[in-house]
């Protein structure tokens, strides 16, 4: 028995080493950029990082990213200059961030290639409505130049009534923890493929209210009551097939709402990767065309 | 609880440590631990159905004693009938009630007497009911046939009925094999434990890397069978063949491996069936615990093959039809059983059904005749899987028609846009390893000799499991529904 346990432990150590080496050799991990929390408490990427991101468990897609001077994935460095050119801001989570696609094929670039405007992209994995409101409010002076603010939201973005930086967010921006994490590629592999999340969820308490529309509407009310955003500039982008109608009504009462459901459901081609629910190149083209059609209502050529 | 879940990853080492380090001095404590662990394992799915296992345990425990204590054959027989009625009644109610009602309504409607009001119930099928009811029945039958003496140790008997590695999907153990092991002190055997660990790893590979990965392809092709040509439908049937083999034999390997960790030897359930050279050999290698159960408790009591040819043919049909029906309350399973009976009959009449009893290990690669036999048997079995997988018989017939009449080589795109080559690679690895084991090739000795070569292979399998598992987490086993 003693020998069996020792041998099992020995094999476990060998296994960890083997997996670490093979994951490094085959590059089955992501060069996820370093995170930071800025002076206003916004979580962002540390500026000026470049690398490759893979999508799919078997590296089905490899894409290039570039973090700009403002901490977001974009080929543009943001200057927020006052000029006559129309400027729009695109806010959202990983769907807007677009690590799954080369950065020079981002939604913003696709828009700018077709119409003469400047598109600032503020997508960040894990951003919800509270994070976006906080980002806009704390950068009010810079974002004044934006003519319109597009916010992409989905059903899971309304689970908070106030914005706070969680311990988890603090931990992952901590240099020491981050360095340790980055040096264990097997750990990065486990994290990227959802194993760590699965284990965490086993021990996490879930609020029973989290899926109730009224709970989400309460959160939206709390967030907008405490904000000073100019809602006339805001345009929400949603998929009505995935958001409760009561929430859509609430968003409609606040600002203009654009629904992408039809353009996606009528598409002849797949709009996501299949093995990953994020939009593929075609999906991004549909979104950018959708925004362009809306912008054409405002722009005078 | 699933073998391929995180919960089991914590559950197994905990039970193992308690079993060998805390309860090891007392057999009763060990059995009690096995019983409690088994109930937790089963209760994880739905604790309400634990009552059924307990009831089945109590009934057969007392029936076993009654059969043994009654010297009169007639009275003993009555007790045996009670056990059979109870277990089959349990199975009939939970598994077949709605099927019988629906079939009755269809029959009456077909005869011109439409029935508008039906009495079907919204019944949940308890996981593994077909397995543990057969296991408890074997206990009463073995006592009746004087092959076994009943036990008075209730907890030991309850641990035998609910032994968690094989509770929900077999192997269906005979009381004469498993019960004595439960009732006698076990000692830890290093070699057996290592074999057990290897079986667990290989079972997980077959389940996660092969079966679960092929599932989206199979589901897509069978769901949209009307949109695909015969070539792709054949691909779907072949993929299902590998899926069900990976799933079920993977489960059996894990179950046997886990049992070995607890010092218990379970019977082999699969013996490389896809390398069979005729249907008779296939059935000696596929789901062995079920086919031998039916052989011993149904086929032989009916007279087996040592009767007139018409009666023997009847017996063959009965055993195949019942075997099909055991799998589920659907005519597709009966058709599957009938199809296999029809395949088996010619070799049975020519007395060639026992032609291939042993594996030919003289040469590694098969000669052309052996190869043709293996491929033909595999294709025939694959056509049978269409009945097994299709939602109803008319769909199964449509699919087979298209495979024969509308065959075309065309490219199939994975429903999740994944690379198809990855799945071909996974299946090839499974077949290569199993073929080497099947032929007992000398390469096995190299692996036994060089530890780092062996460890690297194991670690590669773990890596493949990690990769495949992140695509489809905690996928249930197909045979849980039976």
Which pLDDT does position B28 carry in this prediction?
92
**How far, CA to CA in Å, does B308 sit from each of B305, B315, B351?**
8, 11, 14
Q: Rounded to a whole number, what is the distance in Å from the CA of B261 to chain A's nearest CA?
A: 11
Which pLDDT does position A206 carry in this prediction?
60
Give B401-456 pLDDT, tens digit per residue. Answer: 999 998 888 888 888 888 888 899 999 999 999 999 888 777 888 888 888 888 99
Contact A275 B416 (CB under 8 A): yes
Task: At B195, give phi and psi (nearest 5°).
Answer: -60, -40
Lowest pLDDT segment from A140-144, A210-214, B48-52: A210-214
For residues B254 and B133, the answer to whether their CB atoms sit within 8 Å is: no
* Chain B residues close to A274, C-beta within 8 Å: 414-418
Helix (H, G, I), strand (E, B) or coil at A148: strand
Which pLDDT does position B476 carry in this prediction?
66
Q: Note whether A269 contacts B: Cβ–Cβ < 8 A.
A: no
Q: Note whether B414 contacts A: Cβ–Cβ < 8 A.
A: yes
Interface with chain A: mutation pick from B418, B424, B473, highest number of A CBs within 10 Å:
B418
**Chain centre to alpha carbon of residue B390:** 19
Q: Rounded to a whole number, what is the distance in Å from the CA of B418 to chain A's nearest CA?
A: 7
Alpha carbons within 13 angstroms on the beta-carbon side of residue B34 total: 32
**How far, CA to CA in Å, does B297 sit from each of A180, B42, B359, B394?**
61, 27, 27, 33
Q: What is the ipTM of this complex?
A: 0.79
pLDDT greater than 90 at residue A173 = no
Q: Give the list of residues 6+ apart from residue A247 with CB closer than 8 angstroms, or none.
A: A155, A158, A213, A216, A217, A220
d(Cα A206, Cα A203) in Å, to the nearest integer?
Answer: 9
pLDDT greater than 70 at residue A54 = yes
Q: Which two tokens stand for residue B187?
A: 């000692």
Taking only residues 152 to 181 of chain A, the set having a beta carbon closer than 8 angstroms to any beta carbon of chain B reads: none
B27 closest CA partner among B161, B192, B182: B182
pLDDT greater than 90 at residue B106 = no
Which pLDDT does position A201 carry in this prediction?
76
d(Cα B176, Cα B153) in Å, to the nearest integer?
Answer: 15
Domain boundaries, chain A: 31-162+194-295
**Residue of chain A whose Cα is closest to the Cα of B421:** A58
Mean pLDDT of chain A: 88
Place of tokens 């391929």: B4
For residues A56 and A276, the answer to whether their CB atoms sit within 8 Å is: yes
Which pLDDT does position B425 carry in this prediction?
93
Q: Which helix (H) or strand (E) holds A120?
A: strand A117-123
Helix (H, G, I), strand (E, B) or coil at A58: coil
Nearest to B455 among A11, A23, A28 (CB): A11
Looking at residues A163-170, what average pLDDT do you find?
82
Helix (H, G, I), strand (E, B) or coil at B178: helix
Q: Note whether B217 contacts A: Cβ–Cβ < 8 A.
A: no
Q: Which helix (H) or strand (E) holds B322?
A: helix B309-327
Contact A58 B418 (CB under 8 A): yes
Mean pLDDT of chain B: 88
Looking at residues A74-97, what average pLDDT do you find?
90
Lowest pLDDT segment from A43-57, A199-213, B307-321: A199-213
pLDDT greater than 70 at residue A210 = no
DSSP assignment of A159-195: S-SS----HHHHHHH-HHHHHHHHH-HHHHHHHHTTH
Q: Rounded to a whole number, what is the distance in Å from the CA of A49 to chain B's nearest CA?
A: 28
For residues B412 and B220, the answer to whether their CB atoms sit within 8 Å is: no
Catalytic residue among B224, B327, B363, B438: B327
pLDDT greater than 60 at residue A301 = no
Looking at residues A229-245, what average pLDDT do you find?
90
How buried is residue A7: exposed, middle or buried, by Cβ count under 10 Å (0-12/13-18/19+)?
A: middle
Nearest to B459 among A14, A189, A193 (CB): A14
Looking at residues B140-161, what average pLDDT do you find?
92
Q: Note whether A193 contacts B: Cβ–Cβ < 8 A.
A: yes
DSSP code of residue A93 = S
Which pLDDT does position B352 carry in this prediction?
76
Task: At B127, give phi and psi (nearest 5°).
Answer: -60, 135
For residues A223 and A161, the answer to whether their CB atoms sit within 8 Å is: yes
d(Cα B172, Cα A8) in Å, to the nearest integer?
Answer: 30
Task: Provide the Cα torsion A155, A158, A163, A169; round to 10°.
Answer: -30
For residues B337 and B320, the answer to whether their CB atoms sit within 8 Å is: yes
Q: Note whether A198 contacts B: Cβ–Cβ < 8 A.
A: yes
Helix locations, chain A, DSSP H: 2-25, 94-97, 107-114, 129-138, 140-143, 167-173, 175-183, 185-192, 195-203, 213-225, 245-254, 261-265, 281-295
Q: Residue B265 catalytic?
A: no
Residue A51: beta bridge partners? A65
d(Cα A292, Cα A300) in Å, to the nearest integer?
Answer: 13
- State which fold the A31-162+194-295 domain adopts: Rossmann fold (3.40.50)
DSSP assignment of A198-229: HHHHHH----GGGG-HHHHHHHHHHHHHT---
d(Cα A297, Cα B254) in Å, to the nearest integer?
Answer: 63
Contact B459 A15 (CB under 8 A): yes
For residues A61 and A55, the answer to whether their CB atoms sit within 8 Å is: yes
pLDDT greater than 80 at residue A93 = yes
pLDDT band at residue B95, thresholds of 50, 70 and 90? confident
Which pLDDT does position B183 carry in this prediction?
93
Interface with chain B: mutation pick from A58, A188, A196, highest number of B CBs within 10 Å:
A58
pLDDT greater than 90 at residue B478 = no
Give B276-304 pLDDT, tens digit per residue. Answer: 988 999 999 999 999 999 999 999 999 88
Give B9-28 pLDDT, tens digit per residue. Answer: 899 999 999 999 988 888 99
Give B212-233 pLDDT, tens digit per residue. Answer: 999 999 999 999 999 999 999 9
Helix (H, G, I), strand (E, B) or coil at A257: strand
d(Cα A271, Cα B347) in Å, to the nearest integer?
Answer: 53
Which pLDDT does position A299 carry in this prediction?
72
For residues B279 and B380, the answer to whether their CB atoms sit within 8 Å is: yes
Lowest pLDDT segment from A121-130, B79-88, B111-120, B257-266: B111-120
Q: Note whether A22 contacts B: Cβ–Cβ < 8 A.
A: yes
Q: Rounded to a whole number, what is the distance in Å from the CA of B458 to chain A's nearest CA?
A: 8
Residue B224: beta bridge partners? none
Q: Give the list of residues 6+ apart from residue B214 with CB closer than 8 angstroms, or none.
A: B239, B240, B242, B243, B246, B423, B427
Q: Note whether A15 contacts B: Cβ–Cβ < 8 A.
A: yes
**How far, CA to CA in Å, does B107 sit from each of A198, A241, B103, B115, B294?**
49, 43, 6, 10, 29
Helix (H, G, I), strand (E, B) or coil at A37: strand
d(Cα B214, Cα B239) in Å, to the nearest integer?
Answer: 6
pLDDT greater than 70 at residue B91 = yes
Q: Note whether A59 contacts B: Cβ–Cβ < 8 A.
A: no
Looking at residues B355-363, what average pLDDT do you find?
72
Q: Note whether A199 contacts B: Cβ–Cβ < 8 A.
A: yes
Strands A35-37 and A43-45: antiparallel
Interface with chain A: mutation pick from B208, B416, B473, highest number of A CBs within 10 Å:
B416
Q: Which two tokens stand for residue B100?
A: 């019988």
What b/e string do you get for B407-423 counting C-beta neighbours within 10 Å, with b at 16 or more? Answer: eeeeebeeebbbeeebb
Task: At A86, give phi and psi (nearest 5°).
Answer: -65, 140
* Chain A residues close to B2, C-beta within 8 Å: none
**Residue of chain B whose Cα is closest to the Cα of A277:** B416
Q: Rounded to a whole number, what is the distance in Å from the CA of B44 to chain A's nearest CA?
A: 14
Q: Note whether A144 contacts B: Cβ–Cβ < 8 A.
A: no
Give A99-150 pLDDT, tens digit per residue. Answer: 999 999 999 999 999 999 999 999 999 899 999 999 999 998 889 999 999 9
pLDDT band at residue B163, thresholds of 50, 70 and 90? very high
d(Cα B86, Cα B55) in Å, to the nearest integer?
Answer: 10
d(Cα B270, Cα A102) in Å, to the nearest integer?
Answer: 48
How buried is residue B430: exposed, middle or buried, by Cβ count under 10 Å (0-12/13-18/19+)?
A: buried
């Amino acid at each position: 028995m003693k020998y069996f346990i020792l041998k099992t432990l020995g094999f476990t150590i060998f296994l960890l080493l083997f997996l670490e080496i093979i994951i490094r050799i085959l590059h089955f991990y992501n060069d996820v950029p370093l995170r930071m929390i800025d002076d206003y408490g916004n979580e962002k990427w540390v500026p000026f990082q470049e690398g490759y991101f893979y999508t799919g468990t078997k590296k089905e897609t490899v894409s290039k990213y570039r973090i700009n001077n403002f901490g977001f994935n974009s080929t543009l460095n943001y200057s927020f200059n006052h000029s006559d050119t129309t400027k729009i801001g695109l806010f959202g989570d990983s769907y807007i961030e677009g690590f799954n696609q080369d950065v020079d094929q981002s939604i913003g670039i696709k828009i700018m290639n077709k119409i003469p405007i400047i598109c600032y992209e503020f997508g960040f994995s894990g951003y919800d409505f509270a994070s976006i409101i906080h980002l806009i409010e704390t950068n009010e002076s810079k974002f004044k130049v934006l003519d319109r603010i597009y916010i992409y939201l989905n059903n899971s973005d309304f689970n908070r009534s106030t914005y706070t930086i969680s311990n988890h967010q603090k931990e992952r921006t901590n240099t020491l923890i981050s360095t340790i994490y980055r040096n264990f590629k097997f750990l990065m592999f486990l994290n990227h493929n959802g194993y760590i999340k699965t284990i965490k969820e086993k021990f996490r308490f879930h609020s029973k209210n989290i899926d109730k529309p009224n709970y989400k509407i309460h959160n939206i009310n709390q967030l907008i009551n405490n904000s000073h955003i100019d809602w006339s500039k805001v345009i929400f982008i949603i998929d009505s097939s995935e958001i409760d109608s009561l929430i859509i009504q609430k968003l409609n009462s606040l600002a203009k709402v654009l629904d992408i459901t039809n353009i996606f459901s009528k598409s002849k081609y797949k709009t996501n990767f299949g093995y990953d629910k994020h939009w593929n190149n075609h999906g991004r083209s549909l979104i950018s065309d959708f925004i362009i059609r809306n912008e054409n209502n405002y722009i005078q050529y | 609880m699933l073998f391929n879940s995180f919960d089991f990853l914590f559950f197994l080492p905990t039970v193992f440590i308690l079993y060998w380090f805390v309860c090891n001095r007392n057999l009763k404590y060990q059995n009690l631990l096995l019983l409690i662990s088994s109930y937790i394992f089963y209760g994880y799915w739905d604790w309400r159905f634990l009552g059924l296992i307990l009831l089945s345990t109590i009934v057969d425990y007392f029936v076993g004693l009654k059969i043994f204590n009654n010297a009169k054959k007639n009275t003993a027989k009555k007790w045996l009938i009670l056990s059979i009625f109870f277990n089959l009644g349990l199975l009939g109610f939970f598994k077949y009630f709605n099927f019988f009602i629906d079939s009755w309504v269809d029959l009456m409607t077909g005869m011109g007497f439409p029935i508008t009001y039906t009495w079907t119930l919204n019944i949940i099928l308890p996981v593994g009911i077909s397995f543990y009811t057969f296991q408890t029945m074997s206990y009463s039958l073995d006592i009746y046939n004087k092959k076994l003496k009943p036990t008075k140790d209730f907890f030991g008997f309850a641990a035998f009925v609910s032994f968690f590695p094989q509770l929900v999907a077999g192997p269906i153990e005979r009381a004469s094999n498993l019960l004595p092991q439960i009732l006698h002190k076990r000692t830890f055997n290093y070699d057996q434990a290592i074999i057990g660990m290897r079986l667990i790893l290989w079972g997980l590979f077959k389940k996660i890397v092969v079966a679960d990965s092929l599932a989206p392809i199979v589901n897509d092709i069978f769901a949209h069978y009307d949109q695909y040509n015969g070539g792709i439908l054949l691909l779907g049937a072949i993929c299902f063949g590998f899926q069900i083999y990976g799933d079920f034999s993977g489960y059996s390997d894990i179950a046997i491996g886990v049992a070995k960790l607890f010092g218990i030897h379970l019977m082999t359930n699969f013996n490389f069936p896809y390398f069979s050279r005729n249907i008779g050999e296939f059935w000696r290698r596929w789901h062995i615990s079920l086919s031998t159960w039916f052989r011993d408790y149904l086929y032989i009591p009916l007279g087996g093959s040592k009767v007139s040819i018409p009666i023997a043919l009847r017996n063959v049909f009965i055993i195949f039809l019942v075997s099909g029906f055991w799998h589920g309350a659907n005519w597709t399973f009966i058709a599957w059983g009938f199809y296999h009976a029809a395949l088996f009959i010619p070799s049975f009449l020519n007395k060639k059904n026992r032609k291939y009893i042993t594996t030919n290990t003289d040469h590694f690669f098969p000669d052309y005749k052996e190869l043709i036999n293996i491929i033909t048997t595999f294709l025939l079995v694959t056509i049978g899987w269409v009945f097994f997988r299709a939602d109803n018989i008319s769909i199964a017939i449509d699919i087979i028609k298209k495979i024969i009449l509308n065959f075309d080589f065309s490219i199939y795109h994975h429903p999740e846009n994944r690379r198809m080559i990855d799945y071909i690679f996974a299946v090839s690895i499974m077949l290569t390893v199993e073929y080497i084991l099947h032929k007992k090739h000398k390469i096995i000795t190299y692996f036994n000799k060089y530890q780092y070569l062996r460890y690297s292979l194991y670690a590669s399998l773990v890596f493949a499991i990690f990769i495949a598992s992140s695509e489809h987490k905690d996928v249930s086993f197909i045979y849980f529904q039976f």
